[in-house]
Structure 1
């Protein structure tokens, strides 16, 4: 048990990203009167309880195996997943926004402060270390995506200028990192099998950026449509690349591609709310079906890995 705790993965917070994201999807579908409220409430508190459990286990690891946490925090890949912790808090803030506003505000302030610290440290780490291009993968987008999540609930708790700062920061680094990733994908070695599912993260920045922009500006304009359609493009691109996902060995990093599916689902619902064009409604139902199927499959695979004792192991 001690050995398992030592290697408890920071990537486990990607599970909360997926489940909390799905609870927000259920909340949107409830508000549209497309689903009963029970789905939202059950998953909301399931996500919250799992978040507390994973946080407790990683906190216990920090107490008993602090040197291993330091190794994680200075690892060229795992460092990006520390932001999954702060993003989980921000997602719970959004999920609780209408159910329990005070708790939502507490989560938002906590998530914003913690994410800002992780984001600044991660960017400093990128600058101060000579990281080879082969280690660049879509997981690098995780610290950036969190910036675009902050305005979604943040417009309720702070002036819009505060939210726009984080939106601008996320947009700026998304464009830079995507350029680097495209260079790495085209002109260098293929992604390791373990990180192929993280390609789904490419959907998240424009999808969340669209939602965030709508929350800040309250405007269906050219830039909003640009962000939404770029997100749809990445969905289409991943469908074309479907053969890359065949016969992959399961890793807990697979949870990284569940959250972007929730983001594009919510973006489609928001687009329908604004335009009332049925195409977005149909896309919303299409994406939620894919999202539920994906979450169910990844959860089943994760449970299987836990039973076999293959989760908390040395990944180096």
Structure 2
């Protein structure tokens, strides 16, 4: 799941075997997934407040943290772009790592929802930029796929980011007041509804017929949950409510989470920024569960939603603390 895997310096000698000086050039674009995860957590807590009277300050505090992390990440990556444009270009051109630029577009879309109650104009601008970025990345991703001759081992769960990004336009665009926004959300829903399932099938086929994912990228399996839970949120926004098809999306995403979680949360997988890839799919699952429980009612569904929210909160707290340790030790930049 790392955005720019180390390349051998000489035959038989891996780059990881050579001491590497700390540098901003090693800041991975996939760390923008931390903004996605924290923003998703904040939105989930807002839903919990609206549906079940959970404390409001939790969602707002996590939202402020998400904004702060985005500012720091954006500043750091802009410095990387200015000082090491070749490294950024290499990430963007990589058949796997290039998909992680979708985390920037998704972060902008989610942040627009967080800041809208406080700064509506800024939120509308962020959403517009995020939506245009998501469309552009979807176009680039499909264009690359249609070139052909792509090696099967490069088919990775990270590919789903281009489809999920367009679905997030529909998730976050419901309240956008611009005259053209409703049509843009319909276009985004159409792209996501077609693109995400195609990519999902390709990835599952690779997982079934090829060698298992390496331990370092195993956490990215959680991304398989995202098309269904983000799809639930996008669909319910587009049609204006929860229906049986929405329930099918939610329950299948929940089933995938139960299947994938034991494969991801097991000993022996070292921590890296790649672990943030679990955060947004889990946040989408928690938000979908809260929204569905509020619609369907019942103590079992409400309890399930709160359990998923608690698991998400605990997982992101661990990820955040581990990432702070990486930053403080300088390991993140090596």
Q: TM-score, normalised by structure 2?
A: 0.88
Q: Is 2:57 the counterpart of 1:35? A: no
The 8 Å contact of residues 247 and 292 in structure 2, kept in 1 or not, is answered as no
CA deviation profile, 1:56-97 (whole Å, cap 9, x unmatched): 110111111111111111012210100100100001012223
Matches within 5 A, 1:239-254: 239-241=261-263, 245-254=266-275
Partner of residue 236, structure 1: 258
Question: Which residues of structure 1 form unaligned runs of 5+?
Answer: none
**Residues 28-37 or 139-148, more deviating:** 28-37
Q: Is 2:321 the counterpart of 1:300? A: yes
Partner of residue 176, structure 1: 198
The 8 Å contact of residues 197 and 254 in structure 1, kept in 2 or not, is answered as yes
Separation (CA, whole Å) in 1 of partners of 2:84 and 2:290: 44
Separation (CA, whole Å) in 2 of partners of 1:53 and 1:241: 32
The 8 Å contact of residues 18 and 255 in structure 1, kept in 2 or not, is answered as yes
CA deviation profile, 1:168-199 (whole Å, cap 9, x unmatched): 21121121111111111111111011110011
Q: Is 2:237 the counterpart of 1:218? A: no
Partner of residue 133, structure 1: 152
The match for 1:189 among 211, 231, 245 is 211
The 8 Å contact of residues 148 and 167 in structure 1, kept in 2 or not, is answered as yes
* Structure 1 position 309, deviation (Å): 2.5
Separation (CA, whole Å) in 2 of partners of 1:151 and 1:2: 42
**Residues 248-257 or 39-48, more deviating:** 39-48
Separation (CA, whole Å) in 2 of partners of 1:47 and 1:28: 17
Separation (CA, whole Å) in 2 of partners of 1:161 and 1:114: 17
How has the CA–CA distance of structure 1 residues 2 and 106 changed in structure 2, closer, same or farther, with 3 Å as cutoff?
Answer: farther
**Residues 265-274 or 94-103, more deviating:** 94-103
Partner of residue 169, structure 2: 150
Separation (CA, whole Å) in 2 of partners of 1:242 and 1:8: 24
How has the CA–CA distance of structure 1 residues 57 and 164 changed in structure 2, closer, same or farther, with 3 Å as cutoff?
Answer: same
The match for 2:297 among 276, 292, 303 is 276
How has the CA–CA distance of structure 1 residues 221 and 36 changed in structure 2, closer, same or farther, with 3 Å as cutoff?
Answer: closer
Partner of residue 91, structure 1: 110
Separation (CA, whole Å) in 2 of partners of 1:184 and 1:60: 36
The 8 Å contact of residues 110 and 172 in structure 2, kept in 1 or not, is answered as no
* Equivalent residues, number: 312
Question: Which residues of structure 2 form unaligned runs of 5+?
Answer: 1-19
Separation (CA, whole Å) in 1 of partners of 2:150 and 2:248: 32
How has the CA–CA distance of structure 1 residues 43 and 275 changed in structure 2, closer, same or farther, with 3 Å as cutoff?
Answer: same
The runs of at least 4 aligned residues of structure 1 exceeding 3 Å deviation read 97-100, 158-161, 239-243
**Residues 168-177 or 196-205, more deviating:** 168-177
- The RMSD of aligned alpha carbons is 1.9
Q: Secondary structure at the match of 1:156?
A: coil
Q: TM-score, normalised by structure 1?
A: 0.93
How has the CA–CA distance of structure 1 residues 242 and 41 changed in structure 2, closer, same or farther, with 3 Å as cutoff?
Answer: closer
